[in-house]
Amino acid sequence: MAVTTRAESRLDVARIRADFPVLSQTVRGKPLVYLDNAATSQKPRQVIEAMSRVFEEHNANIHRGVYEFSERTTAVFEEARAKVAGLINAPSEREVIFVRNATEGVNLVAYAWGRDNLKRGDRIVTTVLEHHSDFVPWQQLAMEVGAEVAVVDIDDDGRLRRDQLSAELRKGVKLLAITHTSNGLGTVNPVKEIAAEAHAAGATVLVDAAQAVPHTPVDVQDLGADFLVFSGHKMLAPPGSGGVWGRTALLENMRPFLYGGDMISRVTISLTEWNELPWKFEAGTSSYVDAIGLGAAVDYLQEVGLARIHEHELGLVSYVLPRLQDIPGVTVYGPKTLEDRVGVVSFNIEGIHPHDVATIFDREGVCVRAGHHCNQPLMTRLGVPATTRASFYLYNTTEECDALVGAVHAAKKVFGV
């Protein structure tokens, strides 16, 4: 396999690491090597402090109080929305809806758009790379309304079968639900080209960008999607924050997702009128402190630069991939080149179950995820029950890659394979 090691990262990783208090922890007497960033990311001081400031300086429920004090929280919350809109280049802040996570985002679209736009005989095209949260909602909706789901396969390098995708789109399609970046293999799909092709076939396009927005520049206008979802906790923000972006024309024509306070403009005994976008979709007291934390995370990511973060992660992949592949008995799944991939490396060690691998890694202080990664259709396609997955972020180092490789040797030694 030809993988060139990229030039030294242009990120000042030591300085970045100093912003993340948790990274100086030890595990079993060894330095913490946190390589489970696809599951969730660590949080910098700047995010923690932005959230503490709300509680210490101006906490009050948003969009409700008319007193000046409560307006401060509302203002910071709405600033966070503007920051998110800027990050993904949304044409309007009104198109950014705060939700708890990507899962809630997909369910919002499935409920509020899907129920009124998909009917018996309609076709939903999706891929075998989807996380369960961009698969199960569509599978269940299809069962409910009598629609069909077509699942596009990958090739042996973990890349989407474009020929098969084109064939499925040609058969007729109402919705294409596609992941931008695979959490199981790290594959990046050419979403811009695919969205154009899907639109030409008459589809509405939902993009699951949960593994993209944290790691690469994402521009919704350039991608040409109709809906895009992501989770804050994977991008330095707290759990409980996330977003759905949708085109105004679609969002305006959708029914609300949840009913209750804040999403209305007028309620009488006989009818209710909905609030304007985006608040029509934000019923009840939102996780406003989490959303404010997301705003601070966006500031942090933009200051470092997402293109540089992506380069840094590819540098780590180029370093670790050949080293893992050189170890007898190690099988790496997914793309073996640096094109169109992110810093997710999935592998197995022959003769050792991934859960045992992760347990031995833990003794070395190395945190990785072992399991199906909420990708059971993908695991079935790969012919394995599970993989071990290392996933990198801006604060990871080549020394941590060495610790990962060392942990593989340690596991092999324990199991005598």
Residues in contact with ligand 7TS by the rule CB under 6 A: 38-39, 101-103, 131, 133-134, 179, 183, 208, 210-211, 231, 233, 369, 373-374
Nearest residue (beta carbon) to ligand 7TS? 183
| Nearer to ligand 7TS among residue 73 and residue 211 (C-beta) | 211
Output the smallest distance, CB 103 to ligand 7TS, in A: 3
DSSP letter string, 273-314 = EEPPTTGGG--SS--HHHHHHHHHHHHHHHHH-HHHHHHHHH
Please report how the helices 162-170 and 191-200 are oriented relative to each other, as an axis angle in degrees rounded to 10.
20
| Nearer to ligand 7TS among residue 41 and residue 275 (C-beta) | 41
| Element at 222 (helix H, strand E) | helix 220-223
Output the smallest distance, CB 249 to ligand 7TS, in A: 25
Output the smallest distance, CB 11 to ligand 7TS, in A: 23
Contact 199, 224 (CB under 8 A): yes
CA distance 296 to 3: 36
| Nearer to ligand 7TS among residue 65 and residue 371 (C-beta) | 371
- The catalytically annotated residue of 374, 390, 394, 401 is 374
Output the smallest distance, CB 218 to ligand 7TS, in A: 13
Active site residue 401: no
Token pair listed for 336: 């073996």
Q: Number of helices and strands (H, E) in the chain? A: 15, 17
302-325 burial, b at 16+ Cβ within 10 Å, e below that, comes to: eebebeebbbbbbbbbbbbbbebe
| Nearer to ligand 7TS among residue 9 and residue 133 (C-beta) | 133
| Nearer to ligand 7TS among residue 9 and residue 187 (C-beta) | 187
Output the smallest distance, CB 263 to ligand 7TS, in A: 21
Task: Specify whether the backbone of 383 is left (phi greater than 0), alpha (psi in -120 to 50) or beta.
Answer: left
Enumerate the active-site residues. Answer: 374
